[in-house]
Amino acid sequence: MKGLRKTRGEITPLHRGFTGHPARSGDGGRGATGVAGQLVFGVEPVRELLAAGHPVETLYVSYKAKHRFAAEMNDAREAGGKIVVIDDGAMRRLCGPEARHQGLAAVCREFQYAQLDTVIASAADPLLVIDGVTDPRNLGAIMRSAEGAGVRAMVLARDRTAEVSATAIKASAGARAHLTIARCGNVAGTLETLKEHGYWVGGLAPGGGCSLYDLDVNRRLALVLGGEQHGLRPLVARSCDFLVAIPMYGKVASLNVAVAAAVALFEIARRRAVSTRVGDARRAAQGER
């Protein structure tokens, strides 16, 4: 195919030197060693990046799959990105031996967090605040569920919380490209700032005094998630206006944090949709009188 830089058995000289270690949480969002920027792999994550117009510097395509990804190569090329076709061994070294790259990977600019003031000013509702989720796969799963439930912005604690790394992006199935994400240093202080801007802050916690099914969703909400092992930190819990519990009906006492986030966010979205339909029906009935 004209215009493609093909390599068989080796990486193109521009990208020699990487050792094939995939990006890990806490690595500053870098991709493989020796590859500048952030590595994203897998068909859906890469397609979502391209669809969202995120700048892809280099698109790596497995030699065997180059015809299947002709559209993706064209999109990346039109956006000014380089196309590099490599063999399966080189792709494994680039993404890591355990990575499910599916023959497609991209190096994009390192993830740029939004300014916290920008996120607050956007009045995103609901706003998701994450403090202490350390597994990047959980973070990615939360991003995927949040975007699907209509969340548009998130705030991550700067400490003791996974970064938006290649692993998290892969787990998000491309949802990261549609989210505005900021970081904060003082979580308790940030929650107080959110209250000053009209948010009601609810912490998701087993044993919370407010059932998810009784939560007033007709106000601007910020939902706080704690860590996988210990949940909300005491100071953060005290900074919340209320603690929200998901009713449990079996023997286990709690859910995985990513599952709990999905349950809560979709319940909020469902009840808001019902409230909107009821309000529309009432207005229509009044108009007929």
Residue spans of the domains in the chain: they are 5-108, 116-280
d(CA 96, CA 205): 36
Contacts of 132 (CB under 8 A, 6+ apart): 157, 160, 161, 225, 226, 227, 228, 230, 232, 233
Q: Which of 125, 130, 110, 257 is nearest to 184 (CA)?
A: 130
The strand pair at 38-41 and 104-108 is best described as: antiparallel
5-108 topology per CATH: 60s Ribosomal Protein L30; Chain: A; (3.30.1330)
**Assigned CATH class of 116-280:** alpha beta
Is 75 in contact with 201 (CB distance < 8 Å)?
Answer: no
How do the pLDDT tens digits run along the chain, 289 residues long?
A: 443 333 322 233 333 333 333 332 233 333 333 345 788 888 988 988 888 777 788 999 999 888 999 999 998 998 889 999 999 899 989 988 878 899 999 998 777 899 999 999 999 999 999 999 999 999 999 999 999 999 999 999 999 999 988 778 878 887 888 899 999 999 999 999 999 999 999 999 999 999 999 999 999 999 999 999 999 999 999 999 999 999 999 999 889 999 999 999 999 999 999 987 766 666 677 776 6
Is the pTM higher than 0.85? The answer reads no
